[in-house]
Structure 1
Amino acid sequence: MNGRPEQIIGIYERKAREFDAVRSRSLFEQAWLERFAALLPKGASVLDLGCGHAEPIAAWLIARGCRLTGIDTAPSLLALCRQRFPAHDWIEADMRSLALGRQFHGVVAWDSFFHLPHDDQRAMFASFRAHAAPGAALMFTSGPAHGEATGSHAGEALYHASLAPEEYRTLLAKAGFAVMAHKAEDPDCAGHTVWLAQRQP
């Protein structure tokens, strides 16, 4: 299948300006962001995996007093983050090998985690746990069912994959997270499939 993760890294770097121009800022994600934020303490530290150009997800959280650490593989997107929000931390790294040695009050992987192949997704749950403090919120998007698909961005193929909902629930439980909310193809969130979980003490 075209558009595997290594290719996706290059696509987002080459098409950074196009992505920034077309990414919706309408905040169709707001209801889920509010659920996520409700699980965070005041002044929470949040790890944004696949932060892109920081808008609108990181921007919304920053506006509500969160301290952001954004991770992305595209230097051009991170440059936009630093221009827009210089007081926060923006790190060039691959989420699959991330080891920051610290924990956060929240971890979000919105429209990023689902670019990983199945086995890489399974391996990410150990990283979610390693970077989540007890009680931390975790939110990510996936597909509605097990499978692979190819989308497109600026004329280039983008790989997507998803595990089955039952497997996500199992992986979350094994990593010590309780599912707080889940909606497949949420019509109020532009058809996104969203998971919200919380690390148990």
Structure 2
Amino acid sequence: MNVSDPTEIVRRGYDSVSHRYRGDHDAPAEYAPWLTDLQRQLPTGASVLDLGCGCGIPVTKTLADSGHRVTGVDLSEVQITRARRLVPHATFLHADATLVAFPAGTFDAVVCLYALIHMPIDAQPHLLHRIATWLRPGGLFLATTGAGQWTGTEDNWLGGTATMWWSHPDAATYRTWITEAGLGVESEHFVPEGNSGHQLFWARRIH
């Protein structure tokens, strides 16, 4: 096992801190308006991809409880095992988001919150292009990205024994990548977190 591989660091990190990161019933306050806005724009029984779904709380569960057909993908086996228990009425794949594949036009929406920033930076633009193909025309993309450029690790993340890794450019670069993928950015805003934060993007497949 190559523990110097960033993807493996992220996998092992979330396996280790799954419960510290998100309890079975935790629902961070900032998610609620995002999910409300998303559901307002979805058709009844929409097909939604939660890319980097973690333990399925709150995104997959909220959408699945509302009658949508949700597929969750996550790198961490611990997270996926929890998700299958916590949201049995959704479909989950234990897979690397940069490698997973779906037929074109599969989803009405793709949600990718706090996940892109854990992927190798050279893989992110390609993934955004693939996400655009997975969406139906007019389909929605909701994502959090980095707001400022940074690549690095944090040892003993969240008070545990795991190391975590991140890599992301700034918000302007993400805006360019999203647009070049064939998605129209409809809105974006900064989401503060501690001394830094993330950028929240709403985009839609143009064609």
TM (norm. structure 1) is 0.87
- Displacement after TM superposition at 1:141 (Å): 0.9
Query: Does structure 2 retain, via aligned residues, the 8 Å contact 1:3–1:150?
Result: no
**Alignment match, 2:166:** 160
Deviation at 1:186, TM superposition (A): 4.5
Partner of 1:132: 135
| 2:123 corresponds to | 120
Confirm or deny that 1:194 pairs with 2:200: yes
The equivalent position to 2:41 in structure 1, one of 33, 39, 42, is 39
Aligned ranges 1:19-38 → 2 under 5 Å = 19-21=21-23, 24-38=26-40
Please list every run of 5 or more consecutive structure 1 residues that lacks an aligned counterpart in the other structure.
none
Distance (Å, rounded) in 1 between the aligned partners of 2:71 and 2:86: 14
Q: 1:76 to 1:116 in 2, by over 3 A?
A: same
Offset, 1:4: 2.1
Cα distance in 2 between the residues matched to 1:49 and 1:120: 15
Task: Decide whether aligned partners of structure 1 residues 15 and 3 sit closer, same or farther in structure 2, where only a CA change above 3 A counts.
Answer: farther
Which of the residues 59, 62, 65 maps onto 2:64?
62
* Equivalent AA in structure 2 for residue 65 of structure 1: G
Q: Is the 8 A contact 1:3 1:157 kept in 2?
A: no
Partner residue of 1:179 out of 174, 185, 201: 185
**5+ unaligned residues in a row in structure 2: which ranges?**
none
Please say if 1:52 is aligned against 2:54. yes
1:14 equivalent in structure 2: 16
CA–CA distance in 2 between the matches of 1:13 and 1:36? 29
Give the TM-score normalised by structure 2. Answer: 0.85
Superposition deviation, residue 181 in structure 1: 1.3
**Distance between the aligned counterparts of 2:100 and 2:46, measured in 1?**
20
Within 2, Cα distance between the matches of 1:195 and 1:186?
14
Number of paired residues? 198
In structure 2, the residue matched to 1:169 is: 175
Instruction: Output the amino acid matched with 2:95.
Output: A
Aligned mates of 1:175, 1:192 — CA distance in 2 = 20
Greater relative contact order (Cα < 8 A, sep 6+): 1
Percent sequence identity over matched residues? 25
Once residues 21 and 175 of structure 2 are traced to their aligned partners in structure 1, the CA distance between those partners, rounded to angstroms, is 31
State the superposition RMSD in angstroms: 2.3
